[in-house]
Amino acid sequence: MTLVEKVKKLISMAKFHKEIQEYLNQSTNLQNYAFYKNEAIKEIIDFDFSERGTFSNQFNGCAGIERIVIENHIATNYARAFTGCSGLKSVKTLDFTYVSNTSGWLSGCDAVEEILFETETISISLSVPCPKLTAKSVQNIFDGLSSTATGKTLTLPPAFENDDAEAVVTANIEEVDGLKRIKGKEGWSLVR
C-alpha cells in the first residue's frame, strides 16, 4: 500500500484526527498529492507538518475542506497546495520563510476569507487571488511581506467584496513613478 493509499484509508475512518496525526508524525517525507481530491476532509487543525519539504499539491482538489491550521512547517514548495479547494475559508498560520514556489497555490479558492502569515516571512512574489478576504487578513498579508525583499510583487484580486479590505489596501500603498508601491516595504509593488 502506498503512502497516499494509507492516508486516504485513514481519512475515511472515524478516528481521523488522532490516527492521521500519528501517521503524519511517523512520516518524514509526505508525498505530493497526499490528500488529493479527498472529499472527507473538512478541516485540518493544529497538525504538525514539521520536517516536510513540500506542500506541493497536498490538498489539491479537496473541495470540502473549510479550515486548515498549520503548525511547525518547514516547506519550500507550496505549488498548487490548495488548488481547487473551493470550500476553503481559512488558512493559518503560514510561515513562508523558506518558500520558493507558490505557483497556483490558491487557484480556485474564491471562498477564502481568512489567511494569516507570520510577520515578515514572505520574501518571494506572491499572488493571493481571494476576493472575500477580511480587512484583518489583507493587513496581515501586508505585515507578512519581508521589508528586506527587493523586486517583488504582491498580486491581489482586482477588487475585494469587503469595503474595509479595500480601505486596508488603499492605506498600504503609494504611487511612486507610476507604480503602486507598498508603504514600508520598498522592495514590493502591488498588482491588481
> What percentage of the chain has pLDDT greater than the value 90?
59
Report the distance separating Cα 192 and Cα 139, nearest Å. 16
Contact (CB, 8 A) for 162 and 139: no
Residue 63 has pLDDT above 60, yes or no: yes
* Summary mean pLDDT of the chain: 86
Q: How many CA atoms lie within 13 A of 105 on its CB side?
A: 21
C-alpha cell at 43: 478541516
Given this model, what pLDDT does residue 8 score? 64
Given this model, what pLDDT does residue 49 score? 64
Q: How many CA atoms lie within 13 A of 174 on its CB side?
A: 7
When comparing pLDDT for 26 and 116, which is higher?
Answer: 116
Residue 13 has pLDDT above 60, yes or no: no
Most distant CA pair in the chain: distance in Å? 58
Please state, in angstroms and as integers, the Cα–Cα distance from residue 140 to each residue in 2, 9, 145, 168, 178, following that order. 38, 36, 9, 10, 25
- The length of the chain is 192
Report the distance separating Cα 62 and Cα 169, nearest Å. 30
Given this model, what pLDDT does residue 14 score? 39
Strand 179-182 relative to strand 173-176, pairing: antiparallel
Is the peptide bond between 155 and the residue preceding it cis, with omega within 30 degrees of 0?
A: no
Across 39-43, 160-164, 177-181, the highest mean pLDDT is recorded for: 160-164
* pLDDT per residue as tens digits for the range 85-113: 999 999 998 999 999 999 999 999 999 99
Residue 18 has pLDDT above 60, yes or no: no
User: Domain-by-domain residue ranges, the chain?
Assistant: 3-112
